[in-house]
Structure 1
Amino acid sequence: MTIPNHTNVKKKFGDRLRQIRQARGLSQEELAHLCHLDRSYIGGVERGERNISLLNIHKIADALNISPREFFNDD
């Protein structure tokens, strides 16, 4: 088993979040409002700069009406 590069993991998660958010027609600000997080935090997650917590993954998934597992699917 290889150890993943933490930067790549965060970037991949952020890219997937951006893809889902944009597919739903939401701005970063709108998503932040829906999940009670700061817009700059959402931007940092999407850029792979933040090591997002499980609690915040759950908040964002709830706001997008998806399962948290959808952030980890490559479709």
Structure 2
Amino acid sequence: MQYEERFSKRLIQLRMQKGVSAREMSLSIGQNASYINNIETGKALPSMNGFFYICEYLNISPQEFFNETAEAPQKVRELAEKASALPQQQIEHLAALANDLLENLK
């Protein structure tokens, strides 16, 4: 799969997780109504500045955008932020829970 197609598919996945339309997202980042649709259909790619606005809107880093193994990077970030405020013992419980969940996926 070419990088343009992978970029488009990832954008669609992340936008849908946020629960917004392509039009709504386009307007929210200060672009014309068809901006995101054009990227998702492969008609255009964003500028570097546009890409950063997209990431900011999705509340993810550029690294998280390209990490295709992370299905919901914004939720992972939220979880990490909340976990960082927990006492050590609760963090250990949370880590054990995560390990159990991963074992059940196998």
Same fold by TM-score greater than 0.5:
yes
Gaps of 5+ in 1: none
What is the TM-score of this pair, normalised by structure 2? 0.59
One-letter identity of the residue aligned with 1:61: C
2:44 maps to 1:50: yes
Deviations 1:7-53 (A, max 9, x none): x2111101100000001101011111221112312111112221321
What is the TM-score of this pair, normalised by structure 1? 0.80
Q: Which has the higher contact order (CA 8 A, sep 6+)?
A: 1
Aligned-partner Cα distance in 2 for 1:51–1:63: 17
CA RMSD of aligned residues (A): 1.5
One-letter identity of the residue aligned with 1:56: G
**1:20 aligned partner:** 14
Aligned-partner Cα distance in 1 for 2:68–2:9: 10
Aligned-partner Cα distance in 1 for 2:35–2:27: 11
Gaps of 5+ in 2: 70-106
Aligned residue pairs total 69
Runs of 4+ in 1 over 2 A off after TM superposition: none
